[in-house]
Structure 1
Amino acid sequence: MLSRQRQSGPQRGESLANGLTADGLATKFRLVLDVTDRGNSALALPDVMPPVLGGGGQSWRLLLISLLSCVAAGGAVVGAFLWLVNLPPTANCENAATVTTDRAQLFCAQTAAESGDLPDVLAALDLAGRWTEGHPLYYEVQPLVEQWSWVVLQAADQELRGNGSMAEAQALVGHIPANSSVFAPAQEKIATWQTEWDQGETIMATAQAALKQKDWPAASGQVQALAELKNSHWRVSQVQALAQQIRQERQAQELLDRAVATAAQGGSDRLAAALGTASQIDEGTYARQQAQPYLNRWSDLLLTLGLDKWYASDLSGAIALGRSAALNPDRAQVAQELIWLSQSRQTAQRSLITWRTSPDQVVQLYQAMLTANRVPQGSPYYPQAQSSVATWRQHLGDLAKFQTAQAVGQVRDRDALSAAIAQAAEVPVGHPRRVQAQTMVAHWRQEIERLEDRPYLVKAHELASAKTSEGLQAAIATAQAIALPRALRSEAQGWVYVWTGELQVMEDQPLLNRARSLAAAGKLSQAIVEATGIRPGRALYDQARGAIAGWQREIAAAERARQAALQRAAARQAAVIAEETAPAELETPLNGAAEDAVPPSAIEALAPAPAMPRFRPSPLPDRIETVPGEAAPAPS
């Protein structure tokens, strides 16, 4: 049997059918096995098994071949398993539904952590940190866990030193798993940080206590103590912060002292100035806590004064005080309510500025009501606001009636004016436009009187236009029919005065003309007698008196001239007689005595009489209009 086997297969050194020797075939098989071991492939077996050699050597060789075949097959299986385990996942990290295996989760976490963002690193560390030694990926992810743990520890150190957040730093360190090699150093760092943190907080507490007591030197000493700490958060950031706080506290205290000194002088202006100064104090300072009671007291005083000004209708002053009080945040709401109350009243008052009503005034009243209704029910100014709203609501109805009356009153008709009077009379007492309504009622009544009396005055003008004595007398009688206290009474009386003057001129002018004719003829005495016939109070009386005075001066001047001539003649005659009878030495005294013998009245008569002014009659007006009305025809 063995011989057949020997004969059936090729012997060492013999050539095979394909040209290979047996030794070459063995060598080829070993190469195939080596390739199989390196490639972890179970499929690299030879197509033709070598012949089994006879005897003991053939058995061990066959056993060796079988053993090698089993090892190759096992290696191929293990290699295939490891290849499958280490295959990159095909999951889409953006779609959570495809991330179902731990390998896929690790792949996505690692990919995200490569960005360097701390949240992604923490998420990856939390994922890998919860895997224990029994997890297939435990040993594979340990290098990543260590790497990510150092990143988190460094981020915690930066958080503590940069932002000064101890709690955040501890929270970051808490993400480091206990089985990480970084866990122990992280805990040591936490302990060191906590010790330095406690020292810094103690120093800061001492500094804050000194600032509350306004002990500036002690607070400045704590700045130096902070500068000696190793932690950069305390040594740099907090040193700067504490130094800045000390400066702010000192400035705030100076502002508070200045405000208190200003308010101590009294007066609303001083209180407002003190509030403005104190409001500049930083709210984060201890001085602001000390200033708050002052601010509240000053604001309350200003609000009380503001309400007094509101009652006194000094609305601008009330608003100014409210704005000053609003600088105090604790009184800002109440101050705003006072401002609303005053502004609403200002708006309502603007609706009363113009004499004639308009739709805009109704809108302004509505705006005033809306502003007043913004004052809440719990406000100290709520009663005043609601009282004003109720008053303005009543005024709206009355204002509508008055607007109707004004519209109707524009029609120049007796019935329309009567309707306007009835409508305006409904405006009640106490309404802001009550006085205006009563004034318009009086005006419309006068308009009715003008409409009723205007025909009489027109008729009088027609009668007077004839310029005859009878026409003027009839015109005067017609105009005098307009009695007191009718609206056209004054105008009618003015025309009566004009027409009476014209009638008197018409009656007395012939008399004055005759007197002037007599005077021109040299009959001054007769002219004076003729002119005295014009009685006092007549239109030409002043002209007659002026003419009489002139004529009297002419008579007096003529008499003085005659007396002077007589005196000069007598003087000359006396001088001649004296020369003939008296001695020569007495000539001069006699001449002086003769001159002295001339009576003073004669000398005065020789002086020229002063010129008297000539009085010219002032032109009388053709028409006197005392009350507005339709134009009456002027006398021709």
Structure 2
Amino acid sequence: MRKESKLNRWGLRWLNSWPFLLLTTLALMSTLSVAAAVSLFRIPNLPNCRAIFWPTASAAMRLQCAQSYAEQGSVENLLGAIKLVDALADDHPLRGEINNRIEAWANQILNLASSSFQQGDLDGAIATARQIPAQTTAAQQIEERIQQWQTIWSEAEGIFEQARKKLEAHDFQSAFSLSVQLLDVNNDYWSQTKYNQLTQLIAQARADSSKLAKAKSLAQQGGIDGYREAIELLRSIESDSVLYKEARKLLRQTARAMLDAAESYLQRQQLTDARSLLRAIPRNVGLNEEVADFQVFVDAYQRAWAGDALGLDGAINRLQSIGRDRPLYARAQALTQQWQDELRAVNQLETARAQAEAGGIANLRTAIATAEQVSRRNPRWDEVSGEIERWRTQAETLEDRPILAKADRLADPGQPDDLRAAIQEARKISSGRALFDEARSRIQGWTRRIQQIEDRPILERARQLAAIGNLSDAIATADQIGDGRALSDEAQDLSQTWRDQQLGQARLREALSVAEGGSTEALISAIGLAQQVPSGSPNSSSATTQIGRWSWELLSRAEAVSNRDLEEAIDIAERIPAQAEAFNAARLRLRDWRAQLEPAPLDEELNSSEAGE
């Protein structure tokens, strides 16, 4: 208890001592200083900072407003804060604290620039970084940091663009490999946002590539339905696709192919198909005016196909609606000129037809002259020339029929002189005229009749000579009838028959003479001569008989020789001809004799040797 009282008295003395008072005073002053500093640098929500007249403002006010601006966190406010306090003199008592604050705010600005870079705003990041005051430590990093950003950005852009080009070339595997490289880029925008964008582009390009391939196939197949389906596929490719340009190009090509196909349909006069194709051509590929002009062409052709003057006139009027500023104006003008020429030809042809319908040679010749005024280059020339040919045939028939009738009358008596007079008359009809072929046929018939009348006695005389065995004179007489005359084939056949008969007689006599020699060689030679007798000769039967007799004789001689000389027997038998009666018998004997000449097998020789021992 006494100890506690003593302590209380010591404490009261300490509270009343000067050290305590001094410490208390110092603590209070420190607290006030800290409070003042905190109050000075605290960010107040002071709307009057914008209304302060800064040339007369105190340093404390500048520091307060600068801190307020800086804590709002934007680049603009941070720069404003720096500008506000940096205006104080370099020897100001607070310059050390101010410089520390400026360094901190400069680092904040640099961090904001880096954040902009990571978010994909390279230009904004560079612009922000270059606003950092030059006297700050952060300013020394700016150019190095900017160069680093630009390098990263350039490399990422290169990867992305290279991948796009691979996609445009339909090289999806390479594009995917490039996209993976973006994941390693030290930038959130490229490694995340642009990577996701590229993967979406790859997926879209794969799908669009399939659409392009199918559209190409359909367009190549042609047909209205195929073209329509191809267009729908191409239109479904969005503008953000890397294959959009290719799709637009193919769309224009398909539209052009449709226009060409429509023209093909038009040339085949398939109006319904042509119009259907024109309606299906897309209107956003630069062919609108050309398609509209072609619609006019379709209408004009439909009128022109009527073929008459009214239709051609309507077609011409329809084409005249195509003005000078239209894409098919030149073609319309050329077609108009063509149809105008056709219209003149049609009118001229109608005039000529009216002239020809009156009949008579003179009217037909007049019609021909009128029609021949149409140019041969005119599209209607084939029709005109057909009419001209028809009228010329009619006129020439009227002119030449009396000549042919007179020739027929002259030929009626049938004597050579009459026939020659008829031929002379018919030859007045020259080559190329309507009745020329008929006149030529008559002339050929009358000429044959003359030749038959002249040559028949010669042929009969030759037959008479042959009948009495005078073949040489018969042949000479028949040969008097020259080639190409009416009876020349008959005369030549008879001459050949008689020559064969002469040859047969000569060869048979020679064969018989040779056979009289009696030797084997003589018989073989006789057979060869007898074989030369022509099959159509009267001596052919006798020759065959002799060949048979001599062949049997040869076989008999071969049989006789075979007992002493098989090789000679074989040689004789081989001379017997295939057509001889003895040929089959000779073949059998030849087989036996050849077998006898063949060497015995080895085992047979051994057996024979053992038997001998």
Larger radius of gyration: 1
- The TM-score, its normalising length taken from structure 1, stands at 0.42
Q: Which structure has greater helix proportion?
A: 2
